[in-house]
């Protein structure tokens, strides 16, 4: 059934007339009129909606047209022959054509020669398959400017009747600037690559994962795996042939160092070549920063520094050679005048600091000019070289032998307790020169004269010491040559006497001229004899007994003290073993004095052990004593032997304690077990206030450190009583007995009265 809303205007008019004719009642007419009015309103609303929709459609069409025409990408509709049946304004401007021409332009005709066929083939495939395709094309033909295009082809929609599409849509993108930018980047990359390829040192750019990003030609040539593409090989595999990152001391990882320090680092790699040659490579790692400043990799450059290190070593050696040549004599290799002056200055400073004496010996060969004149300078030079070798062999390592020029030599002897000991050294030097010289098949004899000056007695500056030693040397020449003279006449006489004494001392052991005397050590509380000290005596034929103070120092300076000390140890140990077999001193000890040379001997312990084993004496029955002045001045040298001796059960004590310069720190570190109060500290007791204070201090120190304290030189009962009151338990001296020969000491142990003391006993 039709409604008012579905009727047309004419139908409504006809219906209205019919209703008017047929209406019988006014109410029917009003109803019909109302319906017509409603319909009219509805029609007006529909008209307004249609007009609004039409306006929106027109606006959308205009917007689409604007978007289509002014889009940044050129759009065109192409038929199968490549004609542009439709295009936007951007395409028209790009192709340089006017839209609306009666003849549609062919796109292929505007491309570079030979590209039209490629375009038509692509259009045919798109229309046939419905799949989109893209191709690169060049717009324009030379000599006109050209543009690079990227063409995207899409198949058009089928016709309403379902026929196959006859056109396709083409998007033409102008990529000229993009192509130019890409070409510029490629050119820049090639330029940068050519730069780093021109560097002879290997260069790698690696990521934080150790993967190689960039290498130069030198790195590729040096790589183990040259076929691995960039970004696919790790630096440690490519450069070192390793399966793990570098982490050894010979190959520290630069990447790890850069990430840790966040700065440039330098490391050194060490490689052992197959031929056994060691190669050294300096590796520099620099951080590679990303856009935000983060480290995204490391730039690594390496340089073989093997030759550089070798050259540096050669330069150092050359520098040392030049320094040596500047301070040494070219003929003999000895220090020259320049270095001699420096050495003498340093030795004088040490002597002043340590309150020791220093000797300067000036040695000149006798009649050396006659050798040069008769045999030639070549023979004279060889004699000078041999003299230099002989002189160096006769002095200590710390002494200096120099050649001032010609046949003049100087010798600096430092750290002397007595300056007169220089005479002994001078005699050794003269004896060395007296030996025959073998030169070119000839046997020659050369003597020398020596002059000696002492610091500080004969001069406190270098020039004075040298001048006085030179003057003493001329005195030696004037008195017959082949001898020595001190600058002071008295010292010369004393030195000559020492030389004579040394000659007889060397025969004393062989001639059995030594003996031991034993002085008992008493317990002040009980009176019991706890042990004894063995004291050496020298019985010279026709001269009688020589006091120890007159020959012990000479024995030390000549080295004879070493065999003498061994004789003392063996004799004392043998005697102690005999007494103990007789039931005497079964729980006592015999103390033996060792010299500074003994305690410096690294084989001292082995020597003592060998003697004890040979004799069969228990080590606890032996004790050794070392003078305070040496043991405290050289604690490092003494500590080694002291510790080893005490490990065996041998007590080590400090003799003459209180007369030197004691260091409590050194005393504690040495861990000695016995200290002996020197007789000079005991002599004034108990009336000497200063002596009492010193004795109390030493006794208190011993008690605090847990040391055994022994007082020597006790002559009176008053001295013994004072020591006992202050806590000293052990003493020795004339109050009890003088030092006795072995037989008399055995009788003393059995209770007999000892013989009276004589002047030769010192303890």
Q: For residue 663, give the 3-state DSSP assignment.
A: coil
Sheet holding 147-155, edge to edge: 84-87, 74-79, 167-174, 147-155, 133-139
How far from 671 is each of 115, 295, 333, 642, 709, CA to CA, in Å? 106, 60, 45, 8, 14
In this predicted structure, what is the pLDDT of residue 103? 59
pLDDT at 226: 46
Given a contact cutoff of 8 angstroms between Cβ atoms, the answer to whether 559 and 509 are in contact is no
pLDDT band (50, 70, 90) for residue 21: low
- 583-623 residue pLDDT tens: 999 999 999 998 877 887 888 889 999 999 999 999 999 99
**Is the per-residue pLDDT at 20 higher than 80?**
no
- pLDDT higher than 70, residue 754: no
Q: By C-alpha distance, which of 186, 146, 170 is closest to 73?
A: 170
State residue 696's pLDDT score. Answer: 92
Q: How confident is the model at residue 503 (pLDDT cuts 50, 70, 90)?
A: confident
The pLDDT assigned to 296 comes to 87
Q: Is the pLDDT at 466 greater than 50, yes or no?
A: yes
CA-to-CA distance for 584 and 605, rounded, in angstroms?
27
pTM over cut 0.75:
no
High-pLDDT (> 70) share of the chain, %: 87
Most confident of 21-35, 54-68, 272-286, 328-342: 328-342
Complete edge-to-edge strand list for the sheet that includes strand 448-455: 400-405, 408-416, 357-365, 448-455, 484-486
Is the omega angle on the peptide bond into residue 143 within 30 degrees of 0, that is, cis? yes
Tens digits of per-residue pLDDT, 359-415?
999 999 998 888 888 888 999 999 999 999 999 999 998 899 999 989 999 999 998
pLDDT of residue 667: 66
Bridge-based pairing of strands 730-732 and 740-741 is unpaired
- pLDDT at residue 197 is higher than 60: yes
- Which pLDDT belongs to residue 536? 93
Q: pLDDT tens digit string along 130-161?
A: 899 999 999 888 777 888 999 999 998 776 66
Give the pLDDT mean for 436-464. Answer: 91
Site of tokens 């005048």? 337
Average pLDDT, the chain: 83
Rounded average pLDDT over 496-513: 80
- The pLDDT tens digits of the residues spanning 506-521 come to 888 888 899 999 999 9
Say yes or no to pLDDT of 1 above 50: no
Percent of the chain at pLDDT exceeding 90: 31
| Per-residue model confidence as pLDDT tens digits over 237-266 | 777 667 677 777 787 888 888 888 888 988
Beta strands in 290-346 (DSSP E): 295-304
CA–CA dist 317, 320 (Å, integer): 5
DSSP assignment of 242-259 equals: -SS---BTTB--HHHHHH
Report the Cα 403 to chain-centroid distance in Å: 38
């Amino acid at each position: 059934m039709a409604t008012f809303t579905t009727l047309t205007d004419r139908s409504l008019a006809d219906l209205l007339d019919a209703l008017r004719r047929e209406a019988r009642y006014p109410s029917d007419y009003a109803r019909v009129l109302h319906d017509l009015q409603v319909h009219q309103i509805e029609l007006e609303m529909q008209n307004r909606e249609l007009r609004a929709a039409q306006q929106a459609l027109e606006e959308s069409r205009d917007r689409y047209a604007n978007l289509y025409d002014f889009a940044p990408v050129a759009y065109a509709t192409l038929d199968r022959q490549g004609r542009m049946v439709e295009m936007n304004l951007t395409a028209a401007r790009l192709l340089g054509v006017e839209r609306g021409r009666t003849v549609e332009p062919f796109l292929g005709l505007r491309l570079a020669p030979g590209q039209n066929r490629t375009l038509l083939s692509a259009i045919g495939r798109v229309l046939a398959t419905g799949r989109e395709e893209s191709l690169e094309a060049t717009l324009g033909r030379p000599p006109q400017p050209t543009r690079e295009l990227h063409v995207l082809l899409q198949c058009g929609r089928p016709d309403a009747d379902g026929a196959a599409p006859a056109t396709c849509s083409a998007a033409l993108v102008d990529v000229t600037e993009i192509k130019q930018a890409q070409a510029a980047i490629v050119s820049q990359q090639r330029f940068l690559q050519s730069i780093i390829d021109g560097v002879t040192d290997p260069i790698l750019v690696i990521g934080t994962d150790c993967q190689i990003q960039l290498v130069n030609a030198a790195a590729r040539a040096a790589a183990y795996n040259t076929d691995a593409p960039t970004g696919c090989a790790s630096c440690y595999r490519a450069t070192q042939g390793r399966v793990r990152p570098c982490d050894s001391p010979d190959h520290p990882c630069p990447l790890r160092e850069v990430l840790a320090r966040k700065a440039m680092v330098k490391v050194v790699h060490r490689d052992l070549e197959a031929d056994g040659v060691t190669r050294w490579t300096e590796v520099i790692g620099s951080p590679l920063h990303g856009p935000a400043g983060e480290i995204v990799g490391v730039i690594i450059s390496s340089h073989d520094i093997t030759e550089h290190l070798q050259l540096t070593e050669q330069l150092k050696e050359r520098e040392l050679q030049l320094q040596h040549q500047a301070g040494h004599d070219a003929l003999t290799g000895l220090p020259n005048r320049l270095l001699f002056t420096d050495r003498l200055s340093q030795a004088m400073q040490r002597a002043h600091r340590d309150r020791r004496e220093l000797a300067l010996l000036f040695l000149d060969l006798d009649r050396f000019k006659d050798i040069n004149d008769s045999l030639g300078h070549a023979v004279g030079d060889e004699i000078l070289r041999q003299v230099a070798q002989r002189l160096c062999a006769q002095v200590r390592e710390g002494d200096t032998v120099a050649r001032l020029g010609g046949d003049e030599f100087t010798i600096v002897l430092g750290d002397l307790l007595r300056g007169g000991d220089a005479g002994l050294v001078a005699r050794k030097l003269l004896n060395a020169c007296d030996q025959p010289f073998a030169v070119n098949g000839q046997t020659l004899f050369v003597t020398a004269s020596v002059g000696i000056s002492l610091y500080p007695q004969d001069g406190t500056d270098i020039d004075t010491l040298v001048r006085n030693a030179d003057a003493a040397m001329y005195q030696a020449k004037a008195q017959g040559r082949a001898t020595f003279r001190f600058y002071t006449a008295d010292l010369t006489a004393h030195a000559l006497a020492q030389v004579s004494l040394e000659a007889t001392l060397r025969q004393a052991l062989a001639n059995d001229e030594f003996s031991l005397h034993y002085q008992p050590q008493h317990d002040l509380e009980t009176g019991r004899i706890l042990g004894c000290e063995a004291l050496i005596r020298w019985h010279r034929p026709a001269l009688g007994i020589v006091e120890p103070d007159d020959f012990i120092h000479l024995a030390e300076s000549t080295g004879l003290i070493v065999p003498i000390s061994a004789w003392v140890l063996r004799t004392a140990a043998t005697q102690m073993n005999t007494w103990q077999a007789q039931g005497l001193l079964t729980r006592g000890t015999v103390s033996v004095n060792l010299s500074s040379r003994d305690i410096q001997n690294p084989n001292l312990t082995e020597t003592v052990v060998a003697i004890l084993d040979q004799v069969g004496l228990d080590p606890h029955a032996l004790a050794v004593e070392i003078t305070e002045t040496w043991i405290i001045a050289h604690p490092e040298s003494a500590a080694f032997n002291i510790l080893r001796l005490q490990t065996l059960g041998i007590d080590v004590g400090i003799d003459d304690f209180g007369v030197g310069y004691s260091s409590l720190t050194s005393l504690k570190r040495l861990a000695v077990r016995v200290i002996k109060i020197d007789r000079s500290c005991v002599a004034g007791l108990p009336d000497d206030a200063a002596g009492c204070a010193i004795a109390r201090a030493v006794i208190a120190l011993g008690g605090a450190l847990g040391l055994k304290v022994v007082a020597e030189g006790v002559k009176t009962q008053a001295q013994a009583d004072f020591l006992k009151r202050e806590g000293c338990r052990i003493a020795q001296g004339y109050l009890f007995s003088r030092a006795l020969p072995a037989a008399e000491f055995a009788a003393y142990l059995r209770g007999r009265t000892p013989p009276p003391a004589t002047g030769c006993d010192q303890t």
